[in-house]
Amino acid sequence: MATGAAPPSRTRRPPRSERPVRERRQVDVREWLGGIRLSGFMVIMLGLVVLAAFVLVPTIGTYVDQRQQIAALAASVKLSQEEVADLQAQRDRWRDPAYITTQARERLYYVKPGEVVYLVDNDLTAAQVPQEAAPVSDEVVETKTDWMTQLVRSVTEAGLAQTVTTTPSIGVPDQSPSGTPGATPTAG
């Protein structure tokens, strides 16, 4: 059973340096497509695959969307159940007379007849007292003038004005011909 030639898998290959260098062939797409032979069965199967893709892709998309909606609704239900449980616990606490008494004493400072209660004002140390806070917004700031003085000045200026504007402009300064806001033209 000994043969003179070794099986093809066991033949010795020359080292890389001795192998001939293969040239990269240019692949002609038209030639490659021309070599593909399609049978009728293959065309039918390819058509069925394309048809299945057109039918299943929207269905799968709808399925994924519905699963996401179900997950969101399940989370919403869980959150609502937690809120209901919390509200029921609060309702049960408010049914307890001792809790109601405690809340009335703490929130409304109710006392029982004969009790003496001391309220301490300014019980914070200097370090605990809140310092000047930053302004709440850039637009709303505390005015440096007294509002009562501004009101009296506005009323007196309005009473002493010689001309009356025909259109009411509440809160909008007048634009005089000189271009300075707030200046009232005088009749002369």
pTM score, two decimals?
0.36
**Do 184 and 164 contact (CB within 8 A), yes or no?**
no
Per-residue confidence (pLDDT) for residue 4, from 0 to 100: 56
Sequence-separated (6 or more) residues with CB below 8 Å from residue 18 = none
Query: What percentage of the chain has pLDDT greater than the value 70?
Result: 72
Tokens of 43: 């065309």
Per-residue confidence (pLDDT) for residue 98, from 0 to 100: 93
pLDDT, average across residues 44-66: 90
pLDDT of 175 > 80? The answer is: no
pLDDT, average across residues 76-88: 96
Query: What percentage of the chain has pLDDT greater than the value 90?
Result: 27
Per-residue confidence (pLDDT) for residue 188, from 0 to 100: 43
Sequence-separated (6 or more) residues with CB below 8 Å from residue 109 = 117, 119
Of 25-29, 42-46, 105-109, 143-147, least confident by mean pLDDT is 25-29
pLDDT of 63 > 50? The answer is: yes
Name the nearest CA neighbour of 163 among 184, 181, 141: 184
Amino acid found at 78 = K
DSSP string, 88-134: HHHHHHHTSHHHHHHHHHHHH----TT------SS-S-TTTS--PPP
Residue that wins the pLDDT comparison between 173 and 133: 133
pLDDT, tens only, 18-37: 666 666 677 777 777 777 77
